[in-house]
Amino acid sequence: MSGFWQDGSVLEALANWMHRGNNTRELSIIRSSWRSLDDLLEAYQPMPSFDDMAWYGMAYARIYELLRNQLGKDADKFGGTASDIFKWIEKHGWDTAKNSSGWCGGGFWWDSNKDFKATITNVQMIYLGAKLHNLLPDKDPSYLQVANRTWNWVEARGIIDPATTLLANAVSLKTCNCSDSSTPWTCLLYTSPSPRDS
């Protein structure tokens, strides 16, 4: 669905802008943007890509983090849905195949076709898991466990170029690493500390 993931990332940018500018003019936009996990899944049928859903999870977590005082009791809806999204992606997106060569022994699929393991989905889940663990009052250890498991998988697959800290765009399902592409370092993102350093 065109525009779905962009809506999620724009919400996070709007929350950041409101926080930075110390204003609440757009609070009604933020408040009306909340959707439950079921609403988001219905809006993006038949099955959203896992990275698209993660954009919403990250946006809702950021809204909860920055604007919970301004949102009052509505803030918990954003935090709760961020958690719901994270758990949904973990349940449906993590590769549970036991063989270490056929599907690369774990990692998050990009979408329900399960034919591509994009770096972005895995990085989003590291970020979102660490953020939710540190942000939500229950300090649920499963968030950090998923983030660490994903971080370990990313490291083991050679997704991060040790010389430049650039990230490969994806993992080859043939070799389970990033070395079979003539230009593997296409995703110009930099890494953050491991979630275990949080």
* 98-124 tens-digit pLDDT: 655 456 788 999 988 888 888 999 999
Alpha-carbon gap, residue 28 to 165, rounded angstroms: 39
Neighbouring C-beta atoms of residue 25, cutoff 10 Å? 8
Query: What pLDDT is recorded for position 181?
Result: 47
Each residue's pLDDT tens digit, 35-93 = 999 999 988 877 788 999 999 999 999 999 999 999 999 999 999 999 999 999 999 99
Note whether 57 and 128 are within 8 A (CB): yes
Q: What is the pTM of this model?
A: 0.86
Note whether 31 and 78 are within 8 A (CB): no
* pLDDT band with cut points at 50, 70 and 90 for residue 128: very high
* Nearest of 171, 182, 151 to residue 102 by alpha carbon: 171
Alpha helices in the chain (DSSP H): 4-21, 27-33, 37-43, 50-71, 75-93, 119-135, 141-156
